[in-house]
Structure 1
Amino acid sequence: MEANSTAQAMHTVAEVQHVYKTNVKPSMRPKVNSSRLAYQALLESWDEDRIEFVEQFKVLLVTTANRILGVCEICTGGVAATYVDIKLIMTAALKANATGVILAHNHPSGNLQPSNADKEITKKIVMAGQILEIRILDHIIVTTDGYFSFQDEGLL
């Protein structure tokens, strides 16, 4: 009886496939080769009703040629913080077949300076990316008045 139920269970296991589908031709994807262009792309994707209300963490997923595959919202938190799950960042990058990631989060206060927590999570994400051979190209703090780039400031 137990062997029969084990055999049935084997047939009800979900199939996992490695598939990537897109309707956008590579030449039509926007290219980001500066923090300013990344900031502009991120700002367009941000909900303007939330950017000065709650902290959110997003990633821009890019190809080897720095063309944008997509923007993925990783998490939404409270007024002054959000919990960033590194596994979700890497899952999004792997699903999109991205070779690079630009990290981004907003500061509802408008303060452009990174906190110690911002610096620490960036270091951890960079380490995870190294293991998976996914480049962390930048971490951008987004506000409606401007941005802060970890890459531009030598923090990456």
Structure 2
Amino acid sequence: MQLSHHIKNWAEEDQPICKMLQKGAKYLSDAELIAILLQHGTAQQNAVELARTLLQSTHHNLKQLAQLSIADILALKINGIGKVKAVRVLAAIELGSRRIHKGIEKKNIRQSKDVADHLKYLLQFENKEFFMVLLLNQANKVIHEEILSEGGITGTVADPRIIFKLALSHQATGFIICHNHPSGQLVPSRMDDLLTEKIKKGAAFFDIKLVDHLIVSIEGYYSYAEQNNNW
């Protein structure tokens, strides 16, 4: 075994932790960042090589890596990655997700894409359908966000009465509804159309505006407001 195999024998500027301290996280590769989380490698692979092996299992696709569970990672049977290291990697991914999730609170919504990017990050990797609502105040800022229901791969059910009750209790003047399509397809179903129309009419009765209905998937998003000139 060559001594250069060990990260501690690398030039200091090439060692992931030193590199991050000197230049910042943006200058590290995906494998180097994951190596910091793994901390140690094996007799055969150092932490960077081990990280590359993990990335190879998802074709170096971070989106696919984010979809894995602890059990999924363990099922890969990568020598040197057990429960603890799997937990570290997924904990970092979850922390990144929460950072973006918290960023929407009190944010002024100027266009559908502002919300779509946020919700897409939250829901695009889910393998079942979730239905969410974001409540807005008069300044179009998000004051509350909640998952109303979750279903299977083919769909979920949303009760308009729960949406209106939630909106009234938070004194919202508007709201955005959203659900994901695990299939990846962004074409609204007939049921999506009917539900949107039903909620829109009900909201008008309470003098609350349905600002948009968004459908998100790993492929992007669909906005009823953007696609309908009469919205």
TM-score (norm: length of structure 2): 0.52
Q: Distance in 2 between matches of 1:108 and 1:96?
A: 30
Where does residue 33 of structure 1 map in the other structure?
Answer: 110
Q: Distance in 2 between matches of 1:131 and 1:59?
A: 18
Q: Structure 2: where are the runs of 5+ without partners?
A: 1-104
Matches within 5 A, 1:116-131: 116-131=190-205
Matches within 5 A, 1:114-153: 114-153=188-227
Aligned residues: CA RMSD: 1.6
Larger CA Rg, structure 1 vs 2: 2
Where does residue 147 of structure 2 map in the other structure?
Answer: 73
Which structure dedicates a bigger proportion of its chain to strand?
A: 1
Structure with higher RCO (Cα < 8 A, 6+ apart):
1
What letter corresponds to residue 206 of structure 2 in structure 1?
Answer: L
What letter corresponds to residue 65 of structure 1 in structure 2?
Answer: A
Matches within 5 A, 1:4-153: 29-44=106-121, 46=122, 51-153=125-227
List per-residue Cα deviations over 1:6-35 (Å, max 9, x = no partner): xxxxxxxxxxxxxxxxxxxxxx81011101
What letter corresponds to residue 42 of structure 1 in structure 2?
Answer: L
Q: Distance in 1 between matches of 2:169 and 2:118?
A: 20
Q: Distance in 2 between matches of 1:34 and 1:77?
A: 28
CA pair 138-66 structure 1, distance change in 2 beyond 3 A: same
Q: Secondary structure at the match of 2:226?
A: coil
Identity percentage of aligned residues: 33
Instruction: Please say if residues 52 and 110 of structure 1, whose CA atoms lie closer than 8 Å, have aligned partners that are also in contact.
Output: no
What letter corresponds to residue 38 of structure 1 in structure 2?
Answer: V
Which structure dedicates a bigger proportion of its chain to helix?
A: 2
